[in-house]
Amino acid sequence: MKRVLLSLVIIMAAISCNKINPFLAEWDTPYGIPDFDSVKEKHYIPAVKMGIRQQQGEIDAIIANADAPTFENVVEAYENSGAILARVTGVLFNLSETDSDESLQKIVEKVLPMLSEHSNNIFMNPYFFAKVEKLHNEIDDLGLTQEQKMVLKKMYKSFVKNGVALDETSQARMREINKELSSLEFTFGNNLLAENNAFADRFGLSISEYAGAMASTEDRALREEMFKAYSSRGNNGNEYDNKELILKIMALRVEKAKLLGYETPASFILSDKMAGTPEAVDTFLAGLMAPAVAKAREEVADMQTIMDEDVKAGLLPEGSVIEPWDWAYYAEKVRKVKYALDEEQLRPYFKMENVRQGVFNTASRLWGLQFEKLDSIPVYNPEVEGFKVTDADGSLIGILLTDYFPRATKRGGAWMSNFVEQRVVDGVDVRPVIVNVGNFAKPTEDKPSLLTLDQVETMFHEFGHALHGLLSKCTYVSVAGTSVARDFVELPSQIMENWAFQKEVLADYARHYETGEVIPDSLVTKINAAETFNQGFMTTELVAASVLDMKWHELTSVEGVDPMAFEAAACKEMGLIDEIIPRYRTTYFNHIFNSGYSAGYYSYLWAEVLDKDAFELFKQKGIFDQNTAASFRRNVLEKGGSDEPMDLYRRFRGADPDPAALIESRGL
């Protein structure tokens, strides 16, 4: 008890002496948005240290409580702990991805080992675990709600998967592994950011513009040069080379899995996912690879026909065949021939602001949500825009920030994240602050940001994640919003893609940026006719990346492994054709080496089975049918991880998902 009181005294004294540190109190800002204007780099490390001390004091109090363990005085008390730490890490890690620089990266490098040690101190504490274990053993006799059961189960698994049952020597090693992994994974991400910026400096286009450039660049030699530069990121033998880093990461992941009694990292990671086992994932992916490659071979033949015409016209030398750097360029030619559809003809109708409004309007029609632009709120970068989201009855849903343009301080890709998580504390429903991040083309002096079809789909996708966070109606933060099984989290995002190119949705937002003309029916017809165009390629590269991920995480040792030789062997074994490479090659596979998708990249395809099957119900009932939309909101979007994922899905759909929906939707 003395230790608890001492911790509280330290915290109170520090707060009184550090009132200028904005992380040490609740944000005094509209809607609980972080006070970005007040945050300085000097605030991060002191706030992290204070946050750790605060939460450790709260946990000490849980342990010291002489009353019999209850859900309220153990689990709920832990769920409500760590307020300072949540505030500072919510800002620090989001900005390290979106608005970083060398000094911020150094701060994160210092903070990660501190947080790793703190996490280990929590989830290796035998006295804390004893209370949690007692509750877990009596879980069915405690009169808990389903959400409380899920929270307790998740908490118990966190202790077990962190090695609380290990002997002292093994626990010490586990601490070292966790600390080193957090540092290595962060370094991987920083290396990739540097490589992305080097690519941009060399070719004058961001990584997000690469796909469009490959489809439109006539100079074949330049396409080859860009392809090789893009596909060799992290594999250039320079200070940002990731190969040795990957081997260190995988060696530690293998060791960690074995310490916990698992043969491979994949078996450890998948033990609490929907798929359950590596074998289940491997079987699932194998069932997709064969039809995807077969379709891709047909696409190669179509492209080769057009390339042969270019050879006859003297544009290419005799014997020219489709290479990986030719795919996007000749696929676009095939699309023009087969569907009379030109990507550049479409982009003027997809002004970024119009597409975003179309996304908002879709949510309004489905769930009655309203979006109000906020002009006087703190933001972390001038390019960020904010929106107040309210329900049909006017009640606050949350705040959505959008950050859509590339910059040297932002990593590539698109994602959703939380600055503030939804939860209920002392009877108060804390509404979330969500951010959607993208890397779409920046507006120029004479032209707004115009999106490709793929980028339109991406905006709908990330907004689906945002909805999952915004509409959350959970009590406990550990299961709120997107805190669900990795292979379930993509359902809300991927189902939103289905609305993007529906005729009545396009009529709402697809307007020519110069004339205001609504996209013609003729173009809408072409877009929908080409819906399964190039799906052999797209499915193959996605499955290939998923298989590559599994191959890495099914290793039992990295001794003698050469990363690029390992990748080449994996691609050959899976039957990947020479004209296609995995969507992410090993040295720039940020999803699995830095972003939490290790042995989980398959989840995009796994969740697509769910999303296509779910959207079938919308098509049967009407894509804006209010009862169907309300059921999806009630059973999926609001529930987070408060129940078993498949139970949530069955309540919405009334049946198990039909695996054939994915194959059919991709035209395979």
Query: What CATH number is associated with residue 335?
Result: 1.10.1370.10
Q: Name the residue with tokens 């997000």.
A: 208
- Same domain (yes/no): 335, 367: no
Give me the DSSP letters along 287-356: HHHHHHHHHHHHHHHHHHHHHHHHHHTTSS-TT----GGGHHHHHHHHHHHHH---HHHHGGG-BHHHHH
> Quick one: which H or E segment has residue 505?
helix 503-509
d(CA 281, CA 606): 9
Which of 580, 601, 622 represents a domain boundary (last residue)?
601
Q: Is 403 helix (H, G, I), strand (E, B) or coil?
A: strand
Examine the fold and report which residue of 100, 135, 165 is the final residue of a domain before the chain moves on: 165
Beta strands in 94-168 (DSSP E): none
Domain harbouring 516, CATH code: 1.10.1370.40
What is the predicted pLDDT for the residue at 6?
Answer: 43
Return the amino acid letter for 345. Q
- Residues of 198-228 as b/e, b for ≥16 C-beta within 10 angstroms? ebbeebeebbbbbebbbbebeebeebeebbe
On whether both 571 and 651 belong to a single domain, the answer is no
Query: 202 and 298, same structural domain?
Result: yes
Confidence (pLDDT) at 596? 85
pLDDT at 1: 41
* One domain, residues 590 and 653: no
pLDDT along the chain (668 residues), means of 10: 45 53 93 95 97 97 97 97 96 95 94 95 96 97 97 96 94 94 94 94 92 94 97 97 97 96 96 91 94 96 97 96 97 92 91 98 98 96 97 98 95 94 95 97 94 95 98 98 92 96 95 96 91 94 97 97 97 97 97 92 92 95 97 98 95 90 86
Q: Look at residues 572, 601, 630 and tell me which one is the last residue of a structural domain.
A: 601
Note whether 511 and 546 are same-domain residues. Answer: no
In a domain, 48, yes or no: yes
Q: What CA–CA distance (Å, rounded) separates 62 from 308? A: 73
Question: Which CA distances in Å does 43 have to 35, 38, 40, 46, 614?
Answer: 12, 9, 6, 6, 46
Query: Cα–Cα distance between 193 and 100 in angstroms, integer?
Result: 10
Question: Do 198 and 296 reside in the same domain of the chain?
Answer: yes
> 614 by DSSP, 3-state: which?
helix
The reply to whether 176 falls in a domain is no
What integer pLDDT is reported at residue 4 of this predicted model?
Answer: 44
| 174 within a domain of the structure (yes/no) | no
**Per-residue confidence (pLDDT) for residue 661, from 0 to 100:** 83
Residues 200 and 212 in one domain: yes
Distances in Å between the Cα of 625 and the Cα atoms of 258, 464, 619, 652 are 50, 18, 9, 14
Structural domains counted in the chain = 3
- The range of the structural domain enclosing residue 320 comes to 185-341+536-601
Q: Give catalytic residue positions.
A: 462
> Residue 463: inside a domain, yes or no?
yes
Q: Are 103 and 252 in a shared domain? A: no
Whether 111 and 150 map to the same domain: the answer is yes
Contact assessment for residue 419 and residue 90, using Cβ atoms and an 8 Å cutoff: yes
Specify whether 80 is located in the same domain as 197: no
Interior/surface letters 303-340, b for 16+ CB within 10 angstroms, e for the rest: bbebbeeeeeeeebeeeeebebbbbbbbbbbbbeeebe
Q: Residue 403, by phi and psi: left (phi above 0), alpha (psi -120 to 50) or beta?
A: beta
CA 438 to chain centre: 12
Same domain, 242 and 138: no
Answer whether residue 241 is part of any domain: yes
The overall average pLDDT reported for the chain is 94
| Residue 133 CB partners (closer than 8 Å, separation 6+) | 156, 159
Residues 323 and 355 in one domain: no
| In-domain check, residue 177 | no
With respect to residue 175, please indicate whether it lies within any of the assigned structural domains. no
Helix (H, G, I), strand (E, B) or coil at 435: strand
Q: Return the SS3 of 424.
A: strand
Is position 105 within any domain?
Answer: yes
